[in-house]
């Protein structure tokens, strides 16, 4: 199949080209993300391949349909960047990678907790300036904490299993409890989860129900000094309100690998630019905040799974007109 690959970085090209040897698709790589300004690049491609920050809006899909697009494949588990109703209206199939590597995200989540909780990033910056003073670098031990895992799908389950080795108390919240999770964690109701969790890590999809789930109304119910971790989707947090609660000390620490307006910033080198997003710039000034650039997925194992599953999705669609990994 002839496929236009948007938001393609060097690692995308390398992995997709490597595993395409077994599939034989005709891949054309475009570094810009898909948007109303770049969608003309997809003209004549029956397959379009995108990533998390591509803007696959109804207007974009309307144009893609006119260009002959028949399938849109996202190289991610989440698909909130795609207007599914518009795709269905035009008979365009939407497919995803349901589980590229839950362990990659889980390990990164723990890395964020340990890095910020033990101030490893501060120690690293000090030592690079030949400052080996350890005053101000006091951290905490995970075994003394209660960690709340919000969402116990594949990634949440792996986070819980990995956390269990640290000896901490683990609480879980999900509308659909999982028996495997119960071996390591205790499911509790929302108020108990909020009241007793020292650390809260989010592992749920972005839906209308979960959009800004931590906001002006819900944040006050959390434990004073709570440590919030988000490696799922940026818009789970109301950033402006989070900043307010960071300033008053209600939130003690914040580690985020995602940001609700990240599409204009992440995956780009903007080091020589004046920051224009006031909330992101403000977050980067807090000593108790750690921001990374939506890279929790980025391991060799995950890239292989993403490439093989994505290319397989296109191949299955070519053969049958359907796909096991379709959504909507």
Catalytic residues, by residue number, are 233, 262, 294
Q: Is the dihedral of CA 203, 156, 117, 223 positive or negative?
A: positive
3-state helix, strand, coil in the chain (%, to 5): 40, 15, 45
- CA distances 255 to 51, 136, 272, 276, 297, Å, are 22, 19, 24, 21, 16
Which residue has 């995970």 as its token pair?
142
Residue 64 sits at φ, ψ, to 5 deg, of: -60, -40
DSSP 8-state code for residue 34: P
CA separation for the pair 218, 212 (Å, rounded): 9
Region for 44 from its dihedrals, namely left if φ exceeds 0, alpha if ψ lies in -120 to 50, beta otherwise = left
Residue 273, token pair as written in the block: 């630019």
Burial class (CB in 10 A: 0-12, 13-18, 19+), 127: exposed
Contact of 236 with 211, CB cutoff 8 Å: yes
């Amino acid at each position: 199949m002839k496929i236009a690959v948007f938001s393609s970085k060097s690692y995308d090209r390398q992995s997709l080209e490597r595993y395409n040897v077994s599939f034989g698709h005709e891949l054309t790589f475009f570094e810009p993300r898909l948007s109303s300004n770049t969608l003309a690049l997809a003209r004549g491609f029956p397959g379009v391949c995108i990533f998390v920050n591509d803007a696959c809006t109804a207007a974009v899909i309307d144009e893609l349909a006119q260009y002959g697009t028949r399938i849109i494949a996202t190289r991610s588990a989440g698909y909130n960047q795609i207007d599914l109703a518009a795709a269905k209206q035009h008979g365009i199939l939407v497919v995803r990678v349901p589980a590229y590597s839950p362990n990659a995200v889980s390990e990164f989540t723990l890395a964020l907790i340990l890095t910020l909780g033990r101030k490893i990033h501060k120690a690293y910056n000090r030592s690079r300036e030949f400052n080996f003073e350890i005053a101000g670098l006091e951290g905490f031990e995970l075994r003394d904490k209660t960690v709340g895992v919000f969402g116990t799908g594949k990634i949440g389950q792996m986070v819980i299993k990995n956390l269990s080795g640290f000896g901490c108390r683990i609480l879980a919240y999900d509308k659909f409890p999982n028996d495997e999770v119960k071996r390591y964690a205790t499911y509790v109701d929302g108020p108990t989860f909020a009241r007793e969790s020292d650390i809260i890590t989010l592992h749920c999809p972005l839906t209308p129900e979960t959009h800004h789930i931590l906001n002006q109304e819900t944040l006050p119910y959390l434990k004073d000094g709570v440590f919030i971790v988000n490696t799922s989707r940026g818009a789970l947090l109301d950033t402006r309100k989070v900043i307010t609660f960071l300033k008053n000390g209600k939130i003690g620490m914040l580690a985020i690998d995602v940001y609700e307006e990240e599409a204009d910033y992440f995956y780009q080198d903007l080091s020589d630019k004046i920051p224009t997003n006031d909330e992101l710039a403000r977050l980067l000034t807090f000593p108790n905040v750690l921001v990374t650039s939506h890279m929790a997925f980025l391991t060799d194992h995950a890239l292989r799974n993403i490439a093989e599953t994505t290319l397989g999705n296109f191949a299955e669609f070519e053969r049958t007109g359907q796909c096991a990994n379709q959504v909507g």
